[in-house]
Amino acid sequence: MSSQIRLRLLPGVRCLFDEPIQVKVAGLRPRQVVSLRARAKDEGGLEFRSSATYKADGSGFIHLDRDPSLGGSYVGVEPMGLLWSLKTNSLHRRFKLDSSLKPFVVKFSVHEGEGEGRMLAEASNERFMIGEGVSRVPLKDGSFDGVLFTPPGKGPFPAVLDLSSYTFERRASLLANKGFVVLALPVMTVKDQRVIEMHLDHFEEAVKFLLQQPKVGSKGVGIISHSKTSDVAASLATFVSGIEAVVMINSCCANTILPLYYKGQHVLPGLMFDMEKMPVLESGAGVSKYVFNNPLAEENKSTLIPIERAKARFLFVAAEDDLSLDSKTYMDILVERMKHHGKKNFECVSYPGAGHMLEPPYGAHYASSYHRAFNRLVLWGGEPRMHAAAEVHLWKKVQEFFRSHLSCGDLQTKPKL
């Protein structure tokens, strides 16, 4: 490596996972062509890599927030391109970063020329899930298994229930950094038993638990959900009190697969699917977008969630290149149903080019992986650049939505590293 060439990560080498960084290179020859690379391992040990070719300016500088990539994993001006274009060579493997305990470490490097040239400089970026002062408390002794994240300070803070299909702490911990008390709760894991039916009572206990937390000041809780968990979120807002704001990301308009119960009563049957309607590509991955039965067909209308009964505010989100679920059509059905009943307590946003797995920004985009419910490999969809832009926009919108509808006095300053 050359001591004259410097690779800088600003504002520092340590930051929160959802914070952008500036990547700058200095000390190059005027107009020198180099390759910038990033490599990282997810918590499963799977390696992800990206690279892009840049040309220095007349003073030997490269600024990724100003200069275009000339080729590689992406082209054009993309300040965070080396992160969102991270990709593994292993087929159909997802980017696994479910825990909040360890930082995601990305190693950046500068190399001669466009290929496998000599390394000229390198730097590491530690991207943390939990900011200073945020507490993480696992809950495994009560009626539900989850993890509670609480911001530093006295509060009062708004409360959010983060529903995920399986264990996933990243989104909840990052929201706690922004000044929310968040309970991360998987819906498909109940005391290590196989889930064959869904009971809203289980989630009602979680809502009550959140509202009893000493730092919580909101009158009700918010819910953030994705895919199958949005069935649960919409049903909770419909049948259970104490919920003020709900984010539904790439969801169905009906209760899917599992029958739904509340207080011992069967409230909604599950909308079923037909695997014969899933085309399978040569890679072995299927497209599950249209496998569910038509929820508007007469025989399936009983699965539709009567969301118009809910008093909460809703944010409906749909990715238009979702290959796992026909989320844009389902969102349109939800909107039409609300309008038909004269309801105005909702807003919606859709993202062209985005796929099913909309998550907090700056993680690696993955196009396919194993689907547990369908027990097979599926495509998730999404053009990487547009998907990454959608995640940045949605993450800000989610926070603004909750702040607008879960207000409880002045929010505390968000934690820093």
Confidence of residue 310 (pLDDT cuts 50, 70, 90): very high
Average pLDDT over residues 163-179: 94
Query: What was the pLDDT predicted at 193?
Result: 55
Is this model's pTM higher than 0.75 or not?
Answer: yes
* Of 49-63, 98-112, 282-296, 364-378, the least confident: 364-378
Residue 356 appears among annotated catalytic residues: yes
Report the pLDDT averaged over residues 353-368: 95
Catalytic annotation, pick one of 18, 321, 322, 326: 322
Integer Cα distance of 162 and 226 in angstroms: 9
Contact 313, 279 (CB under 8 A): no
* 142-154 per-position pLDDT tens digit: 777 899 999 999 9
- The model's confidence at residue 116, banded by pLDDT at 50, 70 and 90, is confident
**Domains of the chain with bracketed CATH:** 6-128 (2.60.40.2240), 135-405 (3.40.50.1820)
pLDDT at position 408 is 74
User: Residue 16: pLDDT above 90?
Assistant: yes
Please, are residues 379 and 285 in contact by the beta-carbon 8 Å criterion? Answer: yes
What number of CA atoms fall less than 13 Å from residue 42's CA on the CB side?
21
d(CA 325, CA 201): 27
Distance CA 23, CA 98 (A): 26
25-29, 196-200, 238-242, 413-417: which range is least confident on average?
A: 413-417
**From 63, 111, 226, 356, the catalytic residue:** 356
pLDDT at 27: 97
Yes or no: say if 158 and 180 are a contact pair by the CB < 8 Å rule: yes
**Coil, strand, or helix at residue 67?**
coil
Compute CA distances 270 → 44, 197, 201, 258, 263, whole Å: 33, 9, 17, 5, 18
Instruction: For residue 192, name the pLDDT band (cuts at 50, 70, 90).
Output: very low
What pLDDT score was predicted for residue 149?
98
Say if residue 190's pLDDT is above 60. Answer: no
